[in-house]
Structures are given as structure tokens and as C-alpha cells.
Amino acid sequence: MHLRRDHSIGIVVDVQEKLFPYIHDHDRFAAATSRLVRGLKILGVPVLAVQLYTKGLGETVAPLRELLRDCPLFEKISFSCCGDPSILRALKLSGRRCVIVAGVESHACVLQTTLDLLVEGFLPVVVEDCVSSQRQVDKQVAIQRMRQEGARITTSESILFELLERAGTETFRQISRLVKEAGRE
């Protein structure tokens, strides 16, 4: 199934100050997630930002917080984003069935969100280089589980080009620049 931008919405889950320093390869993860968010915005795909128990875990990390400043921000206390009625309502009201998932931790909030998205009739597309956990093994097992349950797994570069669909446009040039920057990281 080919993903389309007018059927897609992004969600960035719990990339927060208190967790971030402990996330495996956090700088590479943050760069990929920032690239994904920038690309989705260029493509006109809406993005939701989510924070788990902000009082205890802090705000979204600075580089992403700036990129997400004009996106709807939700706070939750359930691990799954779908466990919060306002987030689930926003996803349903978007009219978009493909949910592009990024965030932490892969084996907790990302996994539970993905499983619940499937139950709710969405197609979760987990962006492998834009999800992480403190321990690499937790991420690996979570990716395997999400794939087994029916989620699609992709990378930030792959999904941006899939949503782009064609070359020769200004949007193509902008996405290509993002990808070239990634190659220099």
C-alpha cells in the first residue's frame, strides 16, 4: 500500500528533557526526528506533539520543541496516546487513517500507542530511525513486535520520499536538501 500525504498525520511521542539524555544514541535520534518533522511540515502533513506527565518528565527537548511550536500539544498520563481521549479525538477528527509515529520509548509508549492505533482502525507507520529506547534491545524487540502486530516499519528518508511521490518540484528540492543534510551528519 502506497502512503499518501493527504491520508497521513504525524505524532511525536514523549521526547522530553528528563528522558532524553538516557535514550540510546539520542543525538542521532533527535536529528532524524527533527528531519522527519521538518519534512512532514514541508509536505503539509499535520503533526501532533505529545508529552507524558510533563511535571515529572519536563518539556519536549529544545530543538524539537521549536519545530513543534505551531503544532497541537497534548499532555497525557497514559502510556498509550490513544489512552487519552483528547489525543484519540484529534486523530479521529483529522480524517487521516495513516499515523506516522516517532518518539520514545519504543518498548513502552510507542509500542502501546501503535498497538492501540491498530485496534482503533488506524495504520501506524513507525519510523525506525525516529523511535528509540534507553536500551537498544528494548527498541529491537519493540520494532519486531509492532511489525508482527501489523504496523508498517520505515525510515525517515523513505517515508518522506514516499509521501513526496515525484521529483522536479520545489517541494522535491526542499526534501532533497533535508536528506543531503542527513548524509553529512
Please tell me whether residue 20 adopts helix, strand or coil conformation: helix
Q: Please, are residues 134 and 24 in contact by the beta-carbon 8 Å criterion?
A: yes
Any catalytic annotation for residue 76? yes
What does the alpha-carbon distance between residue 132 and residue 12 come to, in Å, rounded to a whole number?
Answer: 12
Residue at grid coordinates 519536563: 58
Give the angle subtended at the CA of 59 by the CAs of 55 and 60, to the nearest 5°.
Answer: 145
Find all residues with CB under 8 Å of 8, minimum gap 6, and list them: 40, 45, 96, 98, 99, 100, 125, 163
> The cell 522535491 sits on which residue?
172
Residues 109, 116, 130, 139: which is the catalytic one?
109
Burial of residue 97 (CB within 10 Å: 0-12, 13-18, 19+) is middle
Which residues are identified as catalytic? 14, 76, 109
